[in-house]
Amino acid sequence: MTDHPYGYIKDGKIYLKGFLGQEDRIIGEVKEDEASTIRYFEDRFETVKAKVEKLKQDIQENQNKGSFLMKLIHLKNALMHYDGLGDFPALIQELEEQEAYLEEIIQANREKNLEIKKALIEEANAIKNSTDWKEASEAFKELKLKWLKTGPVDKEIQDEIEGQFQAILDVFYSNRKNYFDGLALQAEQNIKVYESLLEQAREAHDLPDAKTAFEISKKIQKQWKASGRVPAAKRQPIWDEFSKLNNRIFSRYRRMSQNAPRLSPGLMIKKIEKLAEEMKLLSKGAVDDSKLAQAKRLQAEWKKLPPKKPRNAQQSIGAFVFFSEIVFEKSFLDKLCHSKYPGFDEKDPSEQVVIKSGLLKDLIARDQRELNTVRENTDNFRTQEDDFDHMMRRKIAAHKRKVDVKNHILKELTNN
């Protein structure tokens, strides 16, 4: 029997001595002579040793060290069954040291990845219910890209973290889909509303009583402004006829009003100032059912005034409209609080202020978005018709007043 530090030859076969709990095993046969056979298997060991050195060098020279872990593990496992003569335990120990080094780096990276992904989840969660679809969609696109570029976390929590992020994405994209699906359906319903308003304008135009026709005209024009969006190509023909009919109704009513007995400008200004001052008083503080009834009575008196009012009364006219809206907005806000927060009256006054302020801020943000949309639509849609431009200017002013009214109430709340 020929002996070797790491093996031996017996009965024409070459053995590798057992290591790390393995038994001695045959790795080959003597072909020509024992010396050349031993050199052959020593050379095989040197070849695999060079692979280990090359792998260690690659790990040190590359930035993404963790990517070599599986290659290292496969090589280490292969050494346990590799046919060669040499110090396999030493090679395996070197690889185990490298493995521990890589696992430490990978663990640190996974902890860092977890921090990054938790931050991305927080960012996504903060905007998942956003209705600013364009801006939010861009934000989610960036978040998904950052998520994909971020490496893995520990396998034990990988599914949980991925699930959290995906659930947030599902909420946003489901909301967005429902919104745009709803827009398409709503547009079909809205066009029917515009067609109905046009039919009412035709009927009002044919009424013999100019005042009744004018009251209907005011009501349906207000409904038109409040109606939802439809494609411009479908709405424009309806609007062209609708506006012409209402202009004729107004012209007939104005001619009738000019021929009717009128208050002197001085008396009318005093009446307007009186109504504006009374409405201003009603607007202060909380609004109950009694105040609401008084406000409606003042509005009824206001409607009895001639449509054409003195230019010197413009400030009082604006004040009456502004404070009227404050009264009705306060009433609406109070109902909203009671609807959303059962037992609202039993809450501490300071808590009631916090709740009202929060709801107001949400409403202000919504109204501001609507105002911005109306302004953009006005800029994007130009027409040669003065009536349309006049209506859009009034629409912008009305939206701006809605924002101003809520800001006034918010300031009153926070200053008390």
Q: Please compute the mean of the pLDDT values over residues 9-21 and round it to a whole number.
A: 91
Any residues with CB less than 8 A from the CB of 17 and at least 6 apart, and which?
6, 7, 8, 24
Locus of tokens 């003065």? 386
Q: Please compute the mean of the pLDDT values over residues 329-340 and round it to a whole number.
A: 89
Rounded CA-CA distance 219/212 in Å is 11
pLDDT(184) > 80: no
Please report the pLDDT score of residue 380 as a whole number.
Answer: 64
pTM: predicted TM-score of the whole model, two decimal places: 0.41
Locus of tokens 């994209």? 173
Query: What backbone phi and psi angles, to 5 degrees, belong to 4?
Result: -150, 150
Question: What is the CA angle 302-307-312, rounded to 5?
Answer: 85
How does pLDDT run across 65-119, given as a tens digit for each residue?
888 889 999 999 999 999 999 999 999 999 999 999 888 888 888 888 888 989 9
Are 344 and 338 a contacting pair, CB within 8 Å? yes
The 3-state DSSP class for residue 84 equals: coil
How does pLDDT run across 17-31, given as a tens digit for each residue?
999 889 999 999 998
Q: Please compute the mean of the pLDDT values over residues 264-287 and round it to a whole number.
A: 87
| Helices and strands (H, E) in the chain, number of each type | 12, 4
β-partners of residue 8 are: 3, 15
Is residue 120 classed exposed, middle or buried when 0-12, 13-18 and 19+ CB atoms within 10 A define those classes? buried
β-partners of residue 25 are: 16
How does pLDDT run across 166-183, given as a tens digit for each residue?
998 988 888 888 877 776
pLDDT(347) > 70: yes
The 3-state DSSP class for residue 4 equals: strand
CA-based nearest residue to 411, from 403, 100, 316, 95:
403
Q: Can you read off the two tokens belonging to residue 154?
A: 């520990």
Please report the pLDDT score of residue 382 as a whole number.
Answer: 54
How does pLDDT run across 242-260, given as a tens digit for each residue?
899 889 988 888 887 666 5
Are 164 and 117 a contacting pair, CB within 8 Å? no
CA-based nearest residue to 251, from 214, 197, 305:
214
Rounded CA-CA distance 206/354 in Å is 52
